[in-house]
Structure 1
Amino acid sequence: MKIKLTSVYVDDQDKALRFYTEVLGLTKKTDVSNGGFRWLTVASAQDPDGPELQLAVNDNPAAKAYQQAMFAQGQPALMLHTGDVKSEYERMKTLGAEFAMPPTDVTAATIAQVNDSCGNLVQIIQPAW
């Protein structure tokens, strides 16, 4: 088995698409609408056929409560790996990204947390291994 898809809840799919593509640098993979439903996914630009991230509209009360609690606790909704977290931090700052945590050395990694402006924290990690 392999991981093909996971989801993150967002409060606005258009705003999320802009953040995840223009700021994080992911690429739009699928964007299909049917009535009031929109299936929207992004993938890594370096691995466009790899795992996808669904940007799911958060109209579920249970999911909204979970999302808000995780955000309030400073827990990221997802983690993305990079080879240079400090340069990614600088690049995203110039694009107006708001960081909850600047690049910080922790055990075996350097991490930063950015607010996706759609209800989630995204952790950017540069593993030391």
Structure 2
Amino acid sequence: MDIKLSQTFIAVDDHDKALAFYRDVLGLEVRNDIAYEGMRWVTVGSPSQPDVNIVLEPPIADPNASPADKQAAAELLAKGLLRGVIFSTDDCDATFERISAAGGEVLQEPADQFYGVRDCAFRDPSGNMLRFSQPRSQ
């Protein structure tokens, strides 16, 4: 049996801001942009990984969600507590410089971790934590 990652979801509160970040700052390509019942899903992905998709979705993808549930999801998103993604990079420091120069909200500058990677972290425009990880040379 062969199991591979196909899609992952990231909640965003403003698709246009998220798209500007994921497409224009990170360099991901837009693969799909769907609107349905007042909601929007935008699929992005790395050109080097055509079979892996990141879907930028509403915090609650349910048109029948209660106002209280929508508010609770918005509060969790604002605190950065819903999801996170770890990207791999071949140059953590250059990735950090590019994203920070574009105005990315820095959570952690590049640092060597005890578990064998050099990584850095940012928040996307919706508050989600994104890490960028590079294997350290042995």
TM-score by length of 2: 0.79
Structure 2 Cα separation of the partners of residues 6 and 76 of structure 1 = 10
Q: Is the 8 A contact 2:111 2:120 kept in 1?
A: yes
Which of 117, 121, 124 is 1:116 aligned to? 124
Q: Is the 8 A contact 1:76 1:113 kept in 2?
A: no
Greater Rg over alpha carbons, structure? 2
* Counterpart AA for 1:120: N
Alignment of 1:1-129 (within 5 A): 1-47=3-49, 49-59=50-60, 61=69, 63-64=73-74, 66-67=76-77, 71=80, 77-107=84-114, 108-128=116-136
* Counterpart AA for 2:127: G
For these two proteins, the number of residue pairs brought into alignment is: 125
Q: Is the 8 A contact 1:8 1:54 kept in 2?
A: yes
Runs of 4+ with deviation above 2 angstroms: 59-69
Q: Is the 8 A contact 1:76 1:123 kept in 2?
A: no
CA RMSD of aligned residues (A): 2.2
Distance 1:90 1:76, change over 3 A: farther
Q: What is the percentage of aligned positions where both structures have the same residue? A: 30
* Counterpart AA for 1:115: R
* Counterpart AA for 2:59: N
What per-residue deviation string (whole Å, max 9, x for no partner) do you get for residues 41-100 of structure 1?
1001222x221001011137364455456x36xx96110000001001111122111211
Structure 2 Cα separation of the partners of residues 80 and 114 of structure 1 = 11
Structure 1 residues without counterparts, runs of 5 or longer: none
The structure in which a higher percent of residues are strand is 1
Structure 2 residues without counterparts, runs of 5 or longer: 62-68
Q: Is the 8 A contact 2:10 2:83 kept in 1?
A: no
TM-score by length of 1: 0.84
Query: Counterpart of 1:119 in 2: which secondary structure?
Result: coil
